[in-house]
C-alpha cells in the first residue's frame, strides 16, 4: 500500500513554456501532499504543501505565481511550472501523507532548454 | 526550529558486512517521529524505518534497525548483512506535530562487492 505515482517521469521543454506535473496517490486518499525540489547530490527542499480543496502553502522564497499547485481531489495534486527557464531545470518530487508518514513519488526530471 | 545532522557524507562497506549511519537532531519537543529514507540511483525515495519518540523500543525492519537515544538526540541506522541493493543515499528525517518533514543532508552509502 501507500503508492504514489508521478507523471511524467521526465520532460524537456523550451524556455517560456509551461509544464504540468501530476502526483497521484494510487491506493489511498491524501488530504495533504507535498512538492519538493532536489538539486544534484543534495537533500530535498520543500517547495509547498498542497491541501485538498484549499490553497497551497508555499515555503519562503518559492514564487507562487511561477509554481502553481492545484489539489483538486483526494488523489491528485498538480504542479505547473509557468514560463519555465533553464534555472527551473531540476528534479521534482511529490509525496503524500498517510497519518504522519510521507510516501514519495518516483520524481520528475525537468529540463528547460 | 528543528535541525537534523548527518555527519557522514559518504561511507562504503563490503557486501555482507554491517554498517551504521549516524544521525543527530535538535528539538525541544517531546513527542515526535524519526525516519530513515533511502534514495537509490533510481532516485525513488523509499521509507526504510520509522521510530516514534514515545517508544523506548528500537524499531527494526528485517536487516535494518535503529539505535534511538532520546536523551542524546541520536538516531542511528544499522544495516546488517549489507547487500548491493543497499547502495543509496540515506536521509534521516524528523517530524513533529503538523509541521513539515525536516531532512538531514544525507549519507551516500556504497556497498562494495
Q: Which of A22, A34, A46, A36 is nearest to A96 (CA)?
A: A34
**Cβ under 8 Å to A: B residues 21-40:** 33, 35, 37
Bridge partner list, A37:
A45, A92
C-alpha distances out from residue B67 to B80, B81, B102, Å: 13, 17, 19
Q: What is the pLDDT of residue B1?
A: 78
Identify the band that residue B2 occupies on the pLDDT scale cut at 50, 70 and 90: confident
Query: Can you say whether the dihedral through the CA atoms of A32, B42, B10, B58 is positive or negative?
Result: positive
Band (A53; pLDDT cuts 50, 70, 90):
confident
Ramachandran angles phi, psi of A47, nearest 5°: -95, -45
User: In Å, how far is A36's CA from the nearest CA of chain B?
Assistant: 11
Contact: B45, A93; criterion CB under 8 Å: yes
Q: Residue B89 pLDDT > 80, yes or no? A: yes
C-alpha dihedral, A59 to B47 to A27 to A78, nearest 10°: 20
Asked whether the beta carbons of A52 and A70 are under 8 A apart, the reply is no
- Tell how far CA B11 is from the center of its chain: 14
CB of A22 closer than 8 Å to CB of A76: yes
Which chain A residues touch B106 with a CB distance below 8 Å? 42-43
Which residues touch A60 (CB under 8 Å, ≥6 apart)? none
Please count the other Cβ atoms lying within 10 Å of the Cβ belonging to residue B61.
12
Angstroms from B33 CA to nearest CA on chain A: 8
**Confidence band, pLDDT 50/70/90 cuts, at residue A1:** low
Cβ contacts of A91 on chain B, cutoff 8 Å: 43
Assign A8 to helix, strand or coil. Answer: coil
Q: Nearest residue of B to residue A49 by CA position?
A: B100
Summarised one tens digit per residue, pLDDT across range B35-72 is 999 999 999 999 999 999 999 899 999 999 999 999 99
Distance between first and last Cα of chain B: 41
Question: According to the model, what pLDDT value does residue B61 have?
Answer: 95
Test B35 with A101 for CB contact under 8 angstroms: yes
Grid cell, residue B24, equals 543527530
- Substitution target in B37, B49, B55, B101 with the highest count of A β-carbons within 10 Å is B101
**What does the alpha-carbon distance between residue A68 and residue B96 come to, in Å, rounded to a whole number?**
27
Closest CB to B91 among A43, A91, A106: A43
Evaluate whether A21 touches A8 at the Cβ level (below 8 Å).
yes
Q: Which pLDDT band holds residue A35 (cuts at 50, 70, 90)?
A: very high
Give the closest-approach CA distance of B43 to chain A in angstroms: 7
- Chain A touched by B46 (CB under 8 Å): yes
Residues of B in contact with A104 (CB under 8 A): 37, 44-46
Q: Which of A34, A46, A107 sits opposite B44 (nearest CB)?
A: A107
Amino acid at each position: 500500500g501507500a503508492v504514489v505515482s508521478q507523471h511524467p517521469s521526465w520532460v524537456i521543454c523550451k524556455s517560456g513554456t509551461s509544464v504540468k506535473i501530476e502526483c497521484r496517490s494510487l491506493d489511498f486518499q491524501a488530504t495533504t501532499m507535498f512538492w519538493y525540489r532536489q538539486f544534484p547530490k543534495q537533500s530535498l527542499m520543500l517547495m509547498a504543501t498542497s491541501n485538498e480543496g484549499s490553497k497551497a502553502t508555499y515555503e519562503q522564497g518559492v514564487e507562487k505565481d511561477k509554481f502553481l499547485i492545484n489539489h483538486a481531489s483526494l488523489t491528485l495534486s498538480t504542479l505547473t511550472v509557468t514560463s519555465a527557464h533553464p534555472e527551473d531545470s531540476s528534479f521534482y518530487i511529490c509525496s503524500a501523507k498517510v497519518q504522519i508518514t510521507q510516501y514519495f513519488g518516483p520524481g520528475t526530471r525537468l529540463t528547460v532548454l | 526550529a528543528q535541525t537534523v545532522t548527518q555527519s557522514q557524507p559518504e561511507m562504503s562497506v563490503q557486501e555482507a558486512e554491517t554498517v551504521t549511519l549516524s544521525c543527530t537532531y535538535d528539538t525541544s519537543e517531546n513527542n515526535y517521529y524519526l525516519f530513515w529514507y533511502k534514495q537509490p540511483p533510481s532516485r525513488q525515495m523509499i521509507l526504510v524505518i520509522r521510530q516514534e519518540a514515545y517508544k523506548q523500543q528500537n524499531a527494526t525492519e528485517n536487516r535494518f534497525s535503529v539505535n534511538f537515544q532520546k536523551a542524546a538526540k541520536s538516531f542511528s541506522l544499522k544495516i546488517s548483512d549489507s547487500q548491493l541493493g543497499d547502495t543509496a543515499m540515506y536521509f534521516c528525517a524528523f517530524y513533529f506535530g503538523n509541521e513539515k518533514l525536516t531532512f538531514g543532508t544525507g549519507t551516500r552509502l556504497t556497498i562494495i562487492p
